[in-house]
Structure 1
Amino acid sequence: MAEIAIAIAAKVVEYLVAPIGRPFGYLFNYRSNIDNLVHQVEKLGDARAGLQRSVDEAIRNGDEIKADVDKWLIGANGFMEEARKFLEDGKKANKSCFMGLCPNLKLQYKLSRATKKKAREVVEIQGARKFERLSYCAPLPGIGSATLRGYEALESRMSTLNQIMEALRDGDDNMIGVWGMGGVGKTTLVEQVAKHAKEQKLFDEVVMTSIFQNPNLRKIQGQLADMLGLKFEEESEWVRTARLNERIKKEKKILIILDDIWAQLDLEEVGIPFRDDHKGCKIVLTSRNKHVLSNEMGTQKDIPVLHLPAKEALVLFKKIVGDSNDKQDLQHIVINMAKECAGLPIALVTVAKALKNKSVSIWKDALQ
């Protein structure tokens, strides 16, 4: 009796369905294929939820989510919605034939075949959820200071900036020195170098840290690592050095700015590869002492940062003072006060901000 029923069913399938693939397998495995798809969609939902939690945590930590991670989440969400609708529509369609009492074999075949295909798609989506990293550190606001805003647009500073940018484009110069006395604006200048290098896409990464008179190796390594999205879990210095070195070498072209160097700094000890060790790594160093750069650090080109010319110093001073400069009895004092700052941008900015909107008597006292 069973053999007769199977023969009848086979004839019906043969009549209703084109003889492609494995019709009997799709028909007889209809329920198991449906159950498997439901199971796979549930697993995908769990994976998506777990990844979303990690993404949310990264966002709370201030990280930027990588594009491929966002793309996977969007794709997974879209597929799950599509799969649920597919399963619901199939369920309704199957019940429409005599309230489910008489199975539509042609419909079941098509649904089973489509269901198995969708299950394979779920497996492929799951397999694509292999990310080396979910996020990266957002660009830090440390590069690009507002302290001397307006100073970088002055003609003399634009000329110096262009010299540095030209040296960075030169394939032969891997280590460039920028020198000048304290307060002359070296830090602001190299911050502008970093900004222009990013905008012009000269490098894949641009990072910057300050060295100071008494260098703290761990702090220097930590600041560079933070800007590169590297998290140290080790305590030993040599391991941190090796990991930073390895991370920097992953960037084909990278600019590292080391600001305010007072004496020779061992770049290898920090973990910075340079010259033949990593020809794509360019380093800009700033110092008050040219000898430190050329003799102790071995820079290939040294660019001086000079005092502002008197005319530019007055322009910067007046720009910060603002409306105070319009007072007739203050104009002469403003000119003399700007001269007293000796063309040092930091002095000009500090004094101008302190005297802005102050009375004439305070201006006179300050000048004396």
Structure 2
Amino acid sequence: MEIASAPITEVGKCAAVSAKRRLGYIIHYKRNVEDLQNKVDKDLVPLVADIRRKVDLAERRGETIHQVVKGWLHKVEDVRNKQAELNRGAGEITSCFKGCFCARYLLGKKAKNEINTIIELLNEGRGFTAVSDPAPLPPRPLEHFNAFESRRSTKKQVIQSLKTDDTYLVGIYGMGGVGKTTLVKEMRKEVEETKLFDKVVMVVVSQNPDLKRIQGEIAEQLGMKIEEEGLTTRALRLYARLMQEKTILVILDDLWSEVDVAAIGIPHGGCKVVITTRSSDICSRMEAQPSIQVQVLSEADSWELFRQNAGDVVDSDALHLVSKEVANECKGLPLAIVTIAKALRGKDREMWIYAAQQLKKSSFDGMSAVNASIKFSYDNLQSKESKLCFLLCCLFPEDYSVSMDELLGYVIGEELFEDAETLGEARNKLHAAVDKLLSASLLLEGKDDGDVMTTLPFRLQLRKARTTQL
């Protein structure tokens, strides 16, 4: 009997506790609602106000608010709505006769549960060490490439060549700043969309070819890593991997000298290669068939591209003649046109006249249109931080893709932003400076999201870094 009575006793105790708790909800419903009100007013409201201030400040800076913070604010709003509803419900019960036991029970229980929810929200909110991250730099589309018939026809010529069975290596050549890289990026986009090749990889070669780096970047895009150090062994490993693809296109951008594609590990069969270079001789020495020249833009296309970047104000009576003069000094080179047009957008007539004079002077001094436009754009940067950031990027090799975290390390190490008191402030200043350089076409988007690329002539950058006085 004693053994049998033990479970019954425990059940009785549990029932008593449960009944007591339920009775407490009925008797103390009003106190529970008041406790809830106090918890909201004294603890939750001040914390919400503090976090909202941080969120508002971050949004004004263009930063990205953490999803967990957004979710927390939504939960807080939901709790406050429920609290207001419970207050109204308690107000409707003015006596023991006006309000049944069931209504009091529900009010008391819900109020108690919401207090527990608020305690959880307070713990979560007090644990936020930050509410946002710097906004990622938005990807910039390839600007106006397909707006001009000359560019569409050149791209079509390259793609048609790649469709020919006996074509192995296509050479694309033209002046610096004429748009060769933009051309192959657009071409890559189209052949990937049309599935002309199973795989497309693209690597920047630049002035001093580093075959190990080129091999490593091709391998990385193919999802492999080459551990060996010897060039020949690495080439054999890459060759074997490339041969696994039925059709593959390898784009070698910005060649300044002849490159032995076989030494890299690029096979002749089942693989096609596109190179870009400033020299038709390099195309000849590498036996490119065909070699396709990218011409400068016509006067009409140059003016249209200039208008798109400088704005319709160039058609006004005050600026039309001088803006035509500036556009002509860009010599039909898209990079020069875009850079100088963006630098002059929104400027007064005196600045336009000054720009025309400086471009002519640079031409007389033997400076190319591209370099002259870059120099003018840099000289007219309004932000000291942007100039410092540009000079820092001068120290990286041409076509070097650098992450924002890497740049931030150099910025802090060199104390470039002296008035930045915190790491977050330095990061925000860097993002703002880089965004201005991207907008001015003094930097370009890097190969990975958030990276930037130093694509301007390295010697010009280095000379500027040595001689420019801020």
TM-score, structure 1 as length reference = 0.57
Q: Which residue of 1 aligns with 2:340?
A: 351
Instruction: Give CA deviations for 1:178-225 in whole Å, capped at 9, x if unaligned.
Output: 111111111111111111110111000011111112101111112111
Give the 3 Å change call, closer, same or farther, for CA 151–335 of structure 1 in structure 2. Answer: farther
Aligned mates of 1:292, 1:250 — CA distance in 2: 29
Aligned mates of 1:363, 1:147 — CA distance in 2: 27
Gaps of 5+ in 1: 1-144
Aligned mates of 2:329, 2:233 — CA distance in 1: 50
Instruction: Give CA deviations for 1:120-153 in whole Å, capped at 9, x if unaligned.
Output: xxxxxxxxxxxxxxxxxxxxxxxxx947511343
Q: Which residue of 1 aligns with 2:261?
A: 267
Give the 3 Å change call, closer, same or farther, for CA 352–147 of structure 1 in structure 2. Answer: farther
Q: Which residue of 2 aligns with 1:154?
A: 148
Give the 3 Å change call, closer, same or farther, for CA 241–181 of structure 1 in structure 2. Answer: same
Q: Which residue of 2 aligns with 1:291?
A: 281
Matched residue SS, 1:328: coil
Instruction: Give CA deviations for 1:290-310 in whole Å, capped at 9, x if unaligned.
Output: 12112x111121111111100
Q: Which residue of 2 aligns with 1:93?
A: none
Say whether residues 1:305 and 2:288 are aligned partners: no
Instruction: Give CA deviations for 1:52-104 in whole Å, capped at 9, x if unaligned.
Output: xxxxxxxxxxxxxxxxxxxxxxxxxxxxxxxxxxxxxxxxxxxxxxxxxxxxx
Do the aligned partners of 1:183 and 1:345 also contact (CA within 8 Å) in 2?
yes
Aligned mates of 1:214, 1:244 — CA distance in 2: 21
Alignment of 1:241-280 (within 5 A): 241-274=235-268, 278=269, 280=270
The counterpart of 2:222, out of the listed 225, 228, 232, is 228
Query: One-letter code of the match for 2:354?
Result: D
Aligned mates of 2:349, 2:203 — CA distance in 1: 41
Query: One-letter code of the match for 1:366?
Result: A
Alignment of 1:83-98 (within 5 A): none
Cα offset for 1:326? 4.8
Alignment of 1:63-82 (within 5 A): none
Q: Which residue of 1 aligns with 2:463?
A: none
Give the total of aligned pairs: 219
Matched residue SS, 1:243: helix
Sequence identity (%): 44
Aligned mates of 1:300, 1:308 — CA distance in 2: 24
Aligned mates of 2:316, 2:300 — CA distance in 1: 20
Say whether residues 1:216 and 2:210 are aligned partners: yes
Aligned mates of 1:291, 1:234 — CA distance in 2: 33
Q: Which residue of 1 aligns with 2:442?
A: none
Gaps of 5+ in 2: 1-138, 358-470
Query: One-letter code of the match for 1:301?
Result: P
Say whether residues 1:339 and 2:328 are aligned partners: yes
The counterpart of 2:318, out of the listed 320, 329, 332, is 329
Query: One-letter code of the match for 1:258?
Result: L
Instruction: Give CA deviations for 1:318-338 in whole Å, capped at 9, x if unaligned.
Output: 001124335431122221111
Instruction: Give CA deviations for 1:247-289 in whole Å, capped at 9, x if unaligned.
Output: 1111100011111112221111111111xxx2x2111111111
Query: One-letter code of the match for 2:281?
Result: H
Do the aligned partners of 1:151 and 1:345 also contact (CA within 8 Å) in 2?
no
Do the aligned partners of 1:217 and 1:270 also contact (CA within 8 Å) in 2?
yes
Do the aligned partners of 1:152 and 1:189 also contact (CA within 8 Å) in 2?
no
Aligned mates of 1:241, 1:186 — CA distance in 2: 27
Aligned mates of 1:340, 1:147 — CA distance in 2: 26
Aligned mates of 2:264, 2:140 — CA distance in 1: 29
Say whether residues 1:177 and 2:142 are aligned partners: no
Give the 3 Å change call, closer, same or farther, for CA 292–192 of structure 1 in structure 2. Answer: same
Do the aligned partners of 1:148 and 1:345 also contact (CA within 8 Å) in 2?
no
Aligned mates of 1:147, 1:317 — CA distance in 2: 17
Stretches of 4+ moved more than 3 A in 1?
A: 145-148
Query: One-letter code of the match for 2:164?
Result: D
Aligned mates of 1:173, 1:313 — CA distance in 2: 33
Matched residue SS, 2:183: helix
Query: One-letter code of the match for 1:189?
Result: L
Query: One-letter code of the match for 1:300?
Result: Q
Cα offset for 1:235? 2.5
Aligned mates of 2:313, 2:229 — CA distance in 1: 54
Aligned mates of 1:147, 1:344 — CA distance in 2: 19
Aligned mates of 2:173, 2:140 — CA distance in 1: 21
Say whether residues 1:367 and 2:361 are aligned partners: no
Instruction: Give CA deviations for 1:31-72 in whole Å, capped at 9, x if unaligned.
Output: xxxxxxxxxxxxxxxxxxxxxxxxxxxxxxxxxxxxxxxxxx
Do the aligned partners of 1:225 and 1:231 also contact (CA within 8 Å) in 2?
yes
Cα offset for 1:364? 1.1
Cα offset for 1:360? 1.5
Aligned mates of 1:189, 1:153 — CA distance in 2: 13
Q: Which residue of 2 aligns with 1:203?
A: 197
Cα offset for 1:341? 0.3
